[in-house]
Chain A
Amino acid sequence: MVDLALKILLHDKLRFTITVAGVAFAVALVLSQVGLFFGLLNNATLTIRHASADLWVTSHNTPNVDFAHQFPETYVNRVRSVPGVSKADNLIVTFMNITLPNGAEEGSVFYALEDFSAWNLPWRVKEGSLNDLRRGEFIFMDESAKRRLGAFSTGDYREVQHNRLRIAGISEEAKSFTTTPVSFMDFRRAQEMNPDLLKGQTSYILVKLAPGADTAAVKAEIQKRLPFNDVYTSNEWASKSEAYWIKNTGIGLNAFLAVFLGVLVGVVVVAQTLYTSTMEHIKEFGTVKAIGGSNADIYRILARQATIAAVLGFVLGLGLAYAQKPAIEAMALKLIMPASTIAIVAVGTLLLCLASAMVSFRKVANVDPGLVFRS
């Protein structure tokens, strides 16, 4: 089969390049914006997703994991007594100031537990032993905090809320949505350092279910015993935290606008270049009709041209998006492009390019094949 569609496309290489570049730019824009969006949201729920808790008990209406409110730590005993609960522990999440060697102060969000390894927090330890956190005046700091807090290493001392604590180890990958560095310390140490706020209090109760326990039933029973708290599954809590940031920071709207812009650019470029190309080749389309081609044959030509532009543009755009990854990661940001998102963008690119071809088709469908007799 002679590929007239491809031959017409390649006949004007400059226009073909512009078409493919337009699609590639749109795809790269959409993928990078969506990737950054997912990257930011990922930071917002990293600790929730990595902690091995099945359920989280929070104070009523806590908006997200970083903005914790306190409630009595003794509630944990009520949770431990619920059938189906294998383990339940208190977790404090609180902001504290760290004094830097130059005298400046920076905030850090501290996760405080009695037994970190039981809850898989932190989940990646670069240096040190988590057991050291139970011995008193020690903290773990995350590697990513070096951007905000300057260089530090295991064995260094830092002042936290004007208490001199030793860095017992360094974790990796622990980040927050607000980019505030994440650190870890012993639960009792945290209470001692901020007694006004934390004495006898906790921020969350982490719950691990017994094997075979009915999650919904256990959750309902905990909720019954703690009517003034909220109980979430790990996924529900992560979704609630994400929803908070999406609704309250405008990143959702920003991502939507960027995707809309990308789509608009892609559609306009493809529609415009295909339309111009079609108009320039209108006599050829008239010839196709005159020698027996139907409107379906014409649409196949235009659809194939749109498909070629979509496929090449998508592949190039995907490459561009991946090429940005190192630069984005160098800025301590993440570009997360799940396979499902890539697949959706691929299908969307194809559909939008085909829709763009409809603009040209409307014109060609009405072409009089008799125009081939005019000189």
Chain B
Amino acid sequence: MSVLEAFDITKTYQEGREVTPVLHGVSMHLQAGEIVTLEGPSGSGKTTLLQILGCILSPSGGRLHLHQKPVEKDLAAVRRRHIGFVFQQYNLFPSLTARENVQYAINLKGVKGPEAKHEAEGLLDAVGLSDRANYLPRDLSGGQKQRVAIARSMACKPAVLLADEPTANLDSAVGTSILHLFRDLAKRENRALLIVTHDPIVRTIADRVLQIHDGRLRP
């Protein structure tokens, strides 16, 4: 069953009088438990499409459906309830410990108190970082930071996980272990996972590979 569907998505950016089209009628879908990679050269529109699918950007044209319904106008609420993000730069809060980073995301979704703490500890346990729960990001390795970011993205069980170059800043061994962890979690929790990447290793865990060039998905 499709959890996320994009129909004929277009996106243009305007700077002064110059209008730059970035996406030209992109249609795609993600199913629960499916792992899809989105590959393409720099400037092909990968990140723009990811931002539209993640409800960070509004498309210039086309429709986006979540659970077979058009997405609400309040994009922040959609992100809060349905989307989990993993970023290339991890984007952890440097002043919060690993557990607090995860717990804060849970708090934002409306779960507070011991319940949020318990869930954060469970997610850190799932990514194998129970023993680093009270470490600040500066005291964690790149792989450990990305594990925290993955745990954070799983907060409150979002239907869709979107990852932007999650292995770009990691060496290949660590990157591979992160990918397998990500795949296992997504499969076990039946989440749809879209990974934007340049890294060919990522293909090894994908159920499906999408190629984007000049703002168009290749068949």
Residues of A within 8 A of B (CB): 1-2, 4, 7-8, 10-11, 283-284, 287-295, 297, 369-370, 372-373, 375
Contacts and interface: CB of A to CB of B under 8 A. Distances in A.
Contacts of A283: 91
A248 to B, nearest CB: 55
Given A291-B152, A292-B108, A293-B76, A373 B87 contact: yes
**Listed residue (A2, A287, A289) with the most chain B CB atoms within 10 angstroms of its CB:** A2
A7 B95 contact: yes
8 contacts: A2-B103, A11-B94, A287-B87, A290-B85, A291-B79, A291-B85, A292-B76, A375-B88
A7 B57 contact: no
Given A292-B76, A292-B109, A10 B47 contact: no
Interface string B57-94: 10000000000000000001101110111011101011
A4 B54 CA distance: 24
Contacts of B77: 292, 294
B113 interface: yes
Nearest to A293: B108
Contacts of B178: none
Contacts of A295: 76
B176 interface: no
Interface centre among A8, A283, A292, A373 (most CB of B within 10 A): A292
Interface in B84-123: 84-85, 87-89, 91, 93-96, 100, 103-105, 107-109, 112-113, 116
B88 A11 contact: no
Contacts, number: 78
A287 B91 contact: yes
A2 B89 contact: no
Interface in B5-32: none
A4 B87 contact: no
Contact of B91 (A2, A292, A372): A372
A372 B90 CA distance: 9
Nearest to A296: B76
Given A294-B76, A370-B56, A372-B85, 10 more contacts: A2-B104, A4-B93, A7-B93, A7-B96, A291-B80, A294-B77, A369-B56, A372-B87, A372-B91, A373-B164
A100 B104 CA distance: 76
A289 B78 CA distance: 11
B51 interface: yes
Given A287-B93, A373-B50, A1 B112 contact: yes
